[in-house]
Amino acid sequence: MKSATTFSTWPAWLGLCGGLALAACQYLIYVYAPVESTMGVVQKIFYSHLPLAWWALVSGGVACVAGIAYLRTRSARWDHLAYAGAELAFVLSTLALMTGSIWARHSWGVWWTWDPRLTTALVLWFLYAGYLVLRHLDLPAPRRAVLGSVVGIVAFLDVPLVFFSARFWRSIHPAVFASEQGGLEPEMRLAAIASVLAFGLVWASLLVLRARAAALDARSATLAARVMDEA
């Protein structure tokens, strides 16, 4: 009983720790890290944009690995994890595109430009949007799971392109950690890394909770179908 209770509550505690860590990061962002000389205080949206973008890519990796595991084992738990990863990849990439557009408006003077990094990120967003549409089609659950796994694997092929696009092609998007100093002051670099790590705790909590919710949805759908058959 004790282990079951611990298992059921630790993601919430992890999310709480992540929230407290993010709160502590606000000191690093707004007090410790200096104000950027060109953009001013608007540049500090970068400390939200970077964690969102980073963990969106990691979410895509989770969806890919879990999708491969599902195709090999046909275990529902892997399908639930793949769905949670793809859903987080969509939500976080949406927020990353939004915060990136705000940053671009003040840095480049436009809300959007067909830069390689931005274009590949938008393609990734469409891929995971398509994944979510697929998962809500009126198909047998095993077939949805198989098709979702395949799409999740294919979608992940774009993740390395997003990550390396600013290095491989002529891009105006900064490659934050490309050089030894990453183009950032040491205080900015510390604030950025702390923000990414703190948000990682929240991300892990959301991933586990969403996978559990998917498992409960599948169980309720099975019970509902059983009741309909008996009626």
Q: Is residue 112 part of a domain?
A: yes
Q: What is the predicted pLDDT for the residue at 5? A: 37
Joined tokens for residue 165: 């696009």
Q: What is the predicted pLDDT for the residue at 179? A: 52
Q: What is the predicted pLDDT for the residue at 175? A: 65
Q: Is residue 28 part of a domain?
A: no
Distance of CA 167 to the CA centre of its chain: 21
* Residue numbers of the domain that contains 104: 43-197+204-224
Q: Cα dihedral angle (34, 40, 43, 44), rounded to 10 degrees?
A: 50
Tens digit of pLDDT at every position of the chain (231 positions) = 344 334 578 888 999 999 999 999 999 999 999 998 888 888 899 999 999 999 999 999 999 999 999 999 999 999 999 999 999 999 999 999 999 999 988 888 899 989 889 999 999 999 999 999 999 998 898 999 999 999 999 999 999 999 888 777 777 777 665 554 446 788 999 999 999 999 999 999 999 999 999 999 888 877 877 777 776
Joined tokens for residue 21: 């860590």
Q: Is residue 11 part of a domain?
A: no
**76-107 and 141-156 helices cross at what angle (nearest 10)?**
40
Rounded distance, CA 69 to CA 84, Å? 14
Q: What is the predicted pLDDT for the residue at 2? A: 42
Q: What is the pTM of this model?
A: 0.89
Q: Is residue 161 part of a domain?
A: yes
Q: Is residue 215 part of a domain?
A: yes
Distance of CA 206 to the CA centre of its chain: 10
Q: Is residue 173 part of a domain?
A: yes
Number of structural domains found in the chain: 1
